[in-house]
Amino acid sequence: MQTNELRHRRLRSGLIALALALSALIFLIASPRMAFAADEESGAAVPGANGSYGTSSLFADEGAHEAAREHRRSSASGNAQLLGAILGEIAKSSDTVYEQQAEAAQEQREQQRLEEEARAAAEEAAREENVRASVADIALGLLGVPYVSGGATPAGFDCSGLVRYCVLQACGWELPRTAAGQSAMGHSVSFSELQPGDLLFWGDAAGAWHVAISLGGDSYVHAPAPGQSVSVGTFQYFTPSFARRLSF
């Protein structure tokens, strides 16, 4: 924002300089004509006391006119040089104003591009967060479903079958069937950054043997073991080894 303000100030200064230069140019163009008209108006011979125009008076007037003409020629030459300098400054001012306008326009386009990218990234992040939240909500709706080894339907789930089913229902993705395969999906996230729908794993990246769906904080939904059912667990009860976040 400060850069934009600085460019606007420079642009205004350039426009003011251009206006002043144009004003000076108009004055220089008008000055010789004004001087010529003044000389013409004052150039009439003045009669003597007897009402006649004396020879010496005529010569004096002629000399004065010649001096005036020489002065005008000298002034015109100086004005021409000054005019050339002003025209040069006008050209520079015009170029400067054009460059500043082009820079301001380019900067505005770049700012708009960055704002659009940031808005798109924020919208995409919100969409993915909503999908993960849906995964957690679907898992909560399956509390009480019995544990079935190899199960991946509401008739019965094992741990990876539950995760696979919830993700499929939330966004249509088909995750790998095992906890080890699912542990390679997405990217790592710390426990302090957990959001609903993140995946929690027990074991290590090369051999995860259990998986659950985070509810945020230290709670999660999982299919624990044979003889049990889908339930909510906590870190105090059963602490995971690491977490992953899916990018949908």
Catalytic residue positions, numbered: 159, 210, 222
Q: C-alpha distances in angstroms, 107 versus 96, 111, 245?
A: 16, 6, 36
Please tell me the distance from the alpha carbon of residue 206 to that of residue 61, in angstroms, as a whole number. 113
* Burial bucket for residue 3 (CB in 10 Å: 0-12, 13-18, 19+): exposed
**Residue 194 phi, psi (nearest 5):** -60, 140
**b/e 86-112 (16+ beta carbons within 10 angstroms → b):** beebbeebeebbeebeeebeeeeeeee
Please tell me the distance from the alpha carbon of residue 87 to that of residue 92, in angstroms, as a whole number. 9
Residue 227's SS3 state is coil
Q: C-alpha distances in angstroms, 243 versus 34, 68, 120, 193?
A: 89, 97, 26, 10
Q: How is 192-225 classified by DSSP, letter by letter? A: GG--TT-EEEES-TTS--EEEEE-STTEEEE--S
